Amino acid sequence: MPLPPELAALLAPTAPAQLPLPPAAHPAPATRLLRGAVYAAPDGIRPLELDLWLPEYPHDPLPVIVYLHGGGWRTGTRTDMGPRFRSWHVSPFARLAQAGFAVASLDYRLTGEATYPAQLEDVTAALAWLDARAGELGLDTGRTVTWGESAGAHLAALLALTTPVLGCVAWYGPTDLTTLPSQSRPGAYDANSPTTREALLIGAPVATAPDLARAASPVTHVTADAPPFLILHGTDDSLIPSAQGEQLAAALRAAGAQVDFRPVPGADHAWAGLPDEDVERCFIASLDFARALTAPGPPSAR
């Protein structure tokens, strides 16, 4: 039975862009953290939240890094940049804020909640939320870079290829779901299985739903308008073959886009097997890429 108009208006949820912001915490020197800001409220599931890391005393509107966590689209948390960073005394998010960025680390719907394209819709909604609140938060969302690891790199690449941003950092992410089975080690991937991470993402086995698999693949969305990409991928990745990173880089080059593909020798997935100093180098290279793209200059097209 439909609700009376007055009751429907009373019970209607407040738009996320109008909700109060969380109180600021100070988890590291020279940083503020707004933990758990609601940026979207899809029907039927939990509200989606982001953590916003900020410099303590910014002087100008801040460039933005939108960070997307890994976990095979079915697990993971926005508080985590990956297992090799959990022991850092100052978290990587705090370090990015100390370097002068606003860092929005996002929730998104996992595959137990929704299939693709829900995940891309969520992270796109986060950009709209950041745009809507840019004035009160001191953000320059015209200088936004996406960054993700593993499944988050897949979403970061899709977001950069479907929404105007300045660039993308992609760490060891899947880029073409249709070629992933053949690029994997013999016997390691069953494209007819409904239980692979990719099948759970698109709602069907990759082999039986090639159109869905292509639509969910970043390589499909590459155009000449793609922003610059930095792609880091371990040469010994046993979960997502480095050929996936190479394939996205090749597609970007063929389209005339700027791409820097850097194989990381000896690295398995999630930077397993790398010495600590090489993990640090991957992080610094990515920070330097984001810093160069967002340096003050002519207004962006966004």
**Alpha carbons 199 and 205: distance in angstroms, whole number:** 5
* More confidently predicted of 138 and 301: 138
- When the pLDDT of each residue in the chain is averaged and rounded to a whole number, the result is 95
Beta-bridged to residue 260, according to DSSP, are: 230
Q: Is 289's pLDDT higher than 60? A: yes
Mean pLDDT of 19-39: 97
**Alpha carbons 150 and 170: distance in angstroms, whole number:** 8
Q: What is the 3-state secondary structure (H, E, C) of the chain?
A: CCCCHHHHHHHCCCCHHHCCCCCEECCCCCEEEEEEEEEECCCCCCCEEEEEEEECCCCCCEEEEEEECCCCCCCCCCCCCCHHHCCCCCCHHHHHHHCCCEEEEECCCCCCCCCCCHHHHHHHHHHHHHHHCHHHHCEEEEEEEEEEECHHHHHHHHHHHHCCCCEEEEECCCCCCCCHHHHCCCCCCCCCCCCCHHHHHHCCCHHHCHHHHHHCCHHHHCCCCCCCEEEEEECCCCCCCHHHHHHHHHHHHHHCCCEEEEEECCCCHHHCCCCHHHHHHHHHHHHHHHHHHHCCCCCCCC
Instruction: Band the pLDDT of 8: cuts 50, 70, 90.
Output: confident
Residues 223/252, Cβ–Cβ less than 8 Å: no
- pTM for this model (two decimals): 0.95
Q: Convert the pLDDT of each residue in 219-250 to its tens digit.
A: 999 999 999 999 999 999 999 999 999 999 99
CA dihedral 203, 207, 212, 214 (to 10 degrees): 140
Q: Convert the pLDDT of each residue in 121-175 to its tens digit.
A: 999 999 999 999 999 999 999 999 999 999 999 999 999 999 999 999 999 999 9
Residues 93/67, Cβ–Cβ less than 8 Å: yes
Q: What is the pLDDT of residue 299?
A: 43
